[in-house]
Amino acid sequence: MDRVSAVRVAIRGITLWLDMSPTSRLLLLRVVFALVATATSFSTVRSQTLWGVTRSTDGTSLPGVNVFIPGLQRGAVSDSDGRYEISHLEPGTYRVQFSFVGFRTQIREVTVGEADVKVDARLEEDPIWTDEVLVETKKTDALTLDSRSVSVLESRRLDEVRGQTLGETLEHLPGLATLQTGPSISKPIVRGLHSQRVLVLNAGVAQEGQQWGGEHAPEIDPFAPVRIEVVKGVAGVEYGAGAIGGVIRLEPLELPDDPSRPFSGTFAGNAFSNNYQGAASLYLQHASSRLPGVSWRVQGSLRRAGDARAPDYAITNSAFEEQNAAVTLGYRKAGLDLMGHVSHFGTELGIFSGAHIGNRDDLLRAIERGEPLVTPDFSFDIDAPKQRISHELATLRGTYSFDSGAKLTTQYGFQYNHRQEFDAHRPYNDSLAALNRPAFELTLASHSIESTFHHRPVGNLLGVVGISGMAQTNRNGRTGFLIPNFRAFTGGIFARETWLRNEVQLDVGTRLDYRWVRAWPRENGASGDFVRRVNSYVNVSGVVGGLWHFSDSWSIGGNLGSSWRPPSVNELYNYGVHHGTAQFEIGDPDLSSERSTGIDATLRHSGTSTRLEASVYATYFDGFIYLFPDPEPRVTIRGTFPTFFYAQSDARLTGFDASAEVDLSRLFTTGVVVSVVRGDNLETNEPLVQMPADRLRLVGHVNIPSFGIARDPHFEAEWVLTARQTRYPANADYADPPAGYRLLNLSIAADLQAGNTPIHLHASVQNALNVTYRDYLSRFRYFVDDPGRSFVLRMSVPIGAS
């Protein structure tokens, strides 16, 4: 804790008290007394209504203003006369937030006593407005967000990292890292866990792709207009079996609801010098005036990049291209809110060809050589080995808010994931080769449905119960042994209650999940008939948490949760060689579920000039599924392959992550982000493999006074220090972890006021010193350096912002 700011807070408290008039003091004492009395009394308290009228500064009533109490996660929208009403409020002090597009967000502190309370709000127009929730709301939101550790990437910050993969977008957050497979594939790691242990929730639907491989990145449009929230740690109660390490939630921004406003949207484009990446995205949205209550948004984006370049050479065949599109349709009437969302993600990406190797001796020779065998010139060509992936998502969500404050939400989602992997080896047979078929093709179709019911507040209790189900079919197009055909059904029920009183929040939740899987692996791994194997799993998850908002600017939250994950199909039946790492991997059909039990604590502070979020955690795994190296390598006609079995062991992950910011003056802000994680196998007493190395990020931010047409210009320097991973198991890897490295990133940004349209420009240079390095979590670190310096230019232009 920052001692200076604590002293400051204390002094402010005392001066406020001294400055108060005797009557106010008396009133405050009474309020405190009343709060204590209510807190200790068992008698039922009559609930009150908060109501009022929202107006603009000239006095005209403002309809459509969002009135929200973040602490209760409840709100209302003002009607055509500007009138709003939030009923069933317990006595207490609440922060109420009034927000409306084009106006400055207002936060009011409201004390609800024995009678209904009327609060009128006058909203000031905001000369430059964005469609997003404005910055001021962050403060209260941040402190009362969750009893767990949650990081939120608001759209402003998101805009400054646009155009990169989801993994790269998130790696700046405390506790997050990325697992890279060359420059074109990256997947997020949350506190040391990734793939099936981290759930990606896209528009409310759990993303169902081929998540089992390290080289399978989540199929997410990096330009989608969303808010990103990362829940770190065990989150199985709301999100189901599998969310054992964390959840990444991408929630589409609210659709516009004011038909009197014209079309709005954003055009964004960016360019990267390192791989000549060009990307553009456009979205348009509108609330229909002809069809009251109907609103829509269309969005599309394109990305294309050539080979990335390490400081000394081009990384051959790391080019990629991507096309994405989405349509969102909304309908609102009285308490009913319907949303339909359809999206397409399509990509074709090259995989660094030097990583495609034959056997162990080939790999050892490549490591020994230290650099790729060939490094041809830069190119935009995408050759085999490559992946072609498409992901379609269609979802329909209906929410009905009852007058009592209860809310029923039902969401159906359909996903179709199609993955083709093209081997560097084409068939010898010409007629087969001419077909240009993938070596590996999988289609995964998933239907999911979830219904949740937020019951009306009962006393101080807010809660939700839910039921969910999923049906899934995986079909194998070509090779039969790496992952078999399978069909799975999952079902779950859960309940979670939150008890809120003033500054204290307590959560308790539980969930029951069932999973049934029927797979068709070959009888003897690679040969024999396809045989039917059926497994089913049933288990419970639970969570107990608390949050204490103990001062105006401080809160502390803690959580104890336990969750489980059934073994995935690859862990059960995988049988074959993973090219790129020359590992022979063998699944175990008898694996049982793994269970994680975690405890964590998060301290949050949001002061006038200081901000802090610091978490410590410890997670124990019972039956952690991992690849155990077999001392006997596998000898085949193709050569020798180190062999790994899927095995289970008790394991422990502990760590610390924090971010802190201090405004040194109005112009200078400094910040620091720390991520430390320790993974241990408790049975072999060795560290777990592939744990992120310690990382420290230092940021200096300078606000430059506006000049000419440049508004809010700012400069940022970021120094990212990644240590060498010194904790790794013996005999499970071919090369020791690479050395630590330091990267300097610089950026400058401003809004240029061209006429009525503020154009946001962001220019940066990544790896400014052109450092040669290899990251431990890069799966190609055996073969090739990570990319060198890149100059990046980003631009976004709001549409219809006049």
Partner 1 sequence: MTNIDNYRTLVLAFVVAIGLVFASGCDSEDPGDDAGESELITRVTLTLTPSGGGTALTAVASDPDGDGANLTIDNLTLAAGTTYNGTIQLLDGINNEDITAEVEQESDAHQFWYTAEGGIASRVSVAITDTDENSLPVGLEFTVTVSAGAAATGTLNVVLSHYDNVVKNGTTRSDESDIDIDFPVTIAP
Q: Which of residues 626-655 bind partner 1 (CB under 8 A)?
A: 634-641
Are the beta carbons of 144 and 505 closer than 8 angstroms? Answer: yes
Find the binder of partner 1 among 273, 479, 510, 597 (CB under 8 A): 479
From residue 435, give the alpha-carbon distance in Å to each of 383, 430, 431, 478.
Answer: 15, 9, 7, 13
Where does this chain touch partner 1 (CB under 8 A) — which range of 245-253, 339-347, 355-363, 675-683?
Answer: 355-363
Q: Which of residues 379-398 bind partner 1 (CB under 8 A)?
A: 383, 398
DSSP state letter for 778: B
Minimum distance from residue 424 beta carbon to partner 1 (Å): 5
The DSSP bridge partners found for residue 5 are none
Q: What sign does the CA torsion over 160, 165, 166, 169 have?
A: negative
Q: Which of residues 508-547 bind partner 1 (CB under 8 A)?
A: 518, 520, 522, 524-527, 530
Give CA–CA dist 235/766, Å, rounded.
Answer: 34
What is the four-CA torsion angle of 52, 57, 60, 61, rounded to 10 degrees? -30
Find the binder of partner 1 among 128, 280, 449, 544 (CB under 8 A): 449
Give every CB contact of residue 154 below 8 A, 6+ residues apart in sequence. 132, 133, 135, 138, 227
Minimum distance from residue 640 beta carbon to partner 1 (Å): 7
Minimum distance from residue 560 beta carbon to partner 1 (Å): 33
Find the binder of partner 1 among 353, 553, 606, 796 (CB under 8 A): 353
Find the binder of partner 1 among 378, 400, 416, 719 (CB under 8 A): 400
Give CA–CA dist 572/525, Å, rounded.
Answer: 11
Give every CB contact of residue 298 below 8 A, 6+ residues apart in sequence. 283, 284, 285, 325, 326, 327, 328
Q: Is 435 in the site for partner 1 (CB under 8 A)?
A: no
Q: Is 335 in the site for partner 1 (CB under 8 A)?
A: yes
Interface mask toward partner 1 for 313-332; x: CB under 8 A: ---xx---------------
Find the binder of partner 1 among 109, 361, 683, 736 (CB under 8 A): 361
Minimum distance from residue 734 beta carbon to partner 1 (Å): 13
In three-state secondary structure terms, 40 is: helix
Q: Which of residues 235-274 bind partner 1 (CB under 8 A)?
A: none
Q: Is 143 in the site for partner 1 (CB under 8 A)?
A: no
Q: Report the residue number, 118 or 425, with the smaller CB distance to partner 1.
A: 425
158-188 core/surface letters (b: 16 or more CB in 10 A; e: else): bbbbbbbbbbbbbbbbbbbbbbbbbbbbbbb
Q: Is 486 in the site for partner 1 (CB under 8 A)?
A: yes
Q: Is 357 in the site for partner 1 (CB under 8 A)?
A: yes
Minimum distance from residue 486 beta carbon to partner 1 (Å): 7
From residue 541, give the alpha-carbon distance in Å to each of 226, 229, 558.
Answer: 29, 22, 17
Q: Report the residue number, 412 or 514, with the smaller CB distance to partner 1.
A: 412
Find the binder of partner 1 among 56, 147, 149, 359 (CB under 8 A): 359
Give every CB contact of residue 615 below 8 A, 6+ residues apart in sequence. 149, 174, 175, 232, 600, 601, 602, 603, 656, 657, 658
Using omega within 30 degrees of 0 as the cis cutoff, is the peptide bond preceding 385 cis? yes
Are the beta carbons of 572 and 519 closer than 8 angstroms? Answer: yes
Q: Report the residue number, 157 or 475, with the smaller CB distance to partner 1.
A: 475
Residue 238, phi then psi, degrees to nearest 5: -80, -30
Give the strand pairing for 277-287 and 264-272.
Answer: antiparallel
Q: Is 575 in the site for partner 1 (CB under 8 A)?
A: yes
Where does this chain touch partner 1 (CB under 8 A) — which range of 4-12, 289-297, 407-415, 657-665?
Answer: 407-415
Find the binder of partner 1 among 320, 345, 481, 646 (CB under 8 A): 481
Give every CB contact of residue 434 below 8 A, 6+ residues apart in sequence. none
Q: Report the residue number, 47 or 640, with the smaller CB distance to partner 1.
A: 640
Closest by Cα among 693, 716, 698 to 764 = 716
Q: Is 484 in the site for partner 1 (CB under 8 A)?
A: yes
Give CA–CA dist 129/136, Å, rounded.
Answer: 13
Q: Is 478 in the site for partner 1 (CB under 8 A)?
A: yes
Q: Is 306 in the site for partner 1 (CB under 8 A)?
A: no
Q: Report the residue number, 298 or 408, with the smaller CB distance to partner 1.
A: 408
Q: Which of residues 582-611 bind partner 1 (CB under 8 A)?
A: 584
Minimum distance from residue 152 beta carbon to partner 1 (Å): 30
Stated as kind and residue range, the H or E segment containing 167 is: helix 166-170
Q: Report the residue number, 152 or 408, with the smaller CB distance to partner 1.
A: 408
Residue type, 663: D
Q: Output the six-digit token pair for 193.
A: 């866990």
Q: Report the residue number, 414 or 499, with the smaller CB distance to partner 1.
A: 414
Minimum distance from residue 447 beta carbon to partner 1 (Å): 4
Residue 155, phi then psi, degrees to nearest 5: -65, -30
Q: Report the residue number, 530 or 537, with the smaller CB distance to partner 1.
A: 530
CA 462 distance to own-chain centroid? 25
Print the SS3 string covering 205-262: EECCCCCCCCCCCCCCCCCCCEEEEEEECCCHHHHCCCCCCEEEEEEECCCCCCCCCC
From residue 248, give the alpha-carbon distance in Å to each of 150, 177, 180, 445, 536.
Answer: 10, 13, 18, 21, 27
Q: Is 452 in the site for partner 1 (CB under 8 A)?
A: no
For the chain, count helices (H), then strands (E): 9, 42
Where does this chain touch partner 1 (CB under 8 A) — which range of 244-252, 469-477, 716-724, 789-797?
Answer: 469-477
Find the binder of partner 1 among 7, 16, 39, 336 (CB under 8 A): 336
Find the binder of partner 1 among 405, 576, 687, 798 (CB under 8 A): 576
Q: Report the residue number, 472 or 539, with the smaller CB distance to partner 1.
A: 472
Q: Report the residue number, 424 or 495, with the smaller CB distance to partner 1.
A: 424
Question: Residues in contact with partner 1, total (CB under 8 A)?
Answer: 75
Q: Is 339 in the site for partner 1 (CB under 8 A)?
A: no
Q: Report the residue number, 536 or 608, with the smaller CB distance to partner 1.
A: 536
Minimum distance from residue 580 beta carbon to partner 1 (Å): 11
Q: Report the residue number, 346 or 469, with the smaller CB distance to partner 1.
A: 469
Find the binder of partner 1 among 448, 563, 568, 619 (CB under 8 A): 448
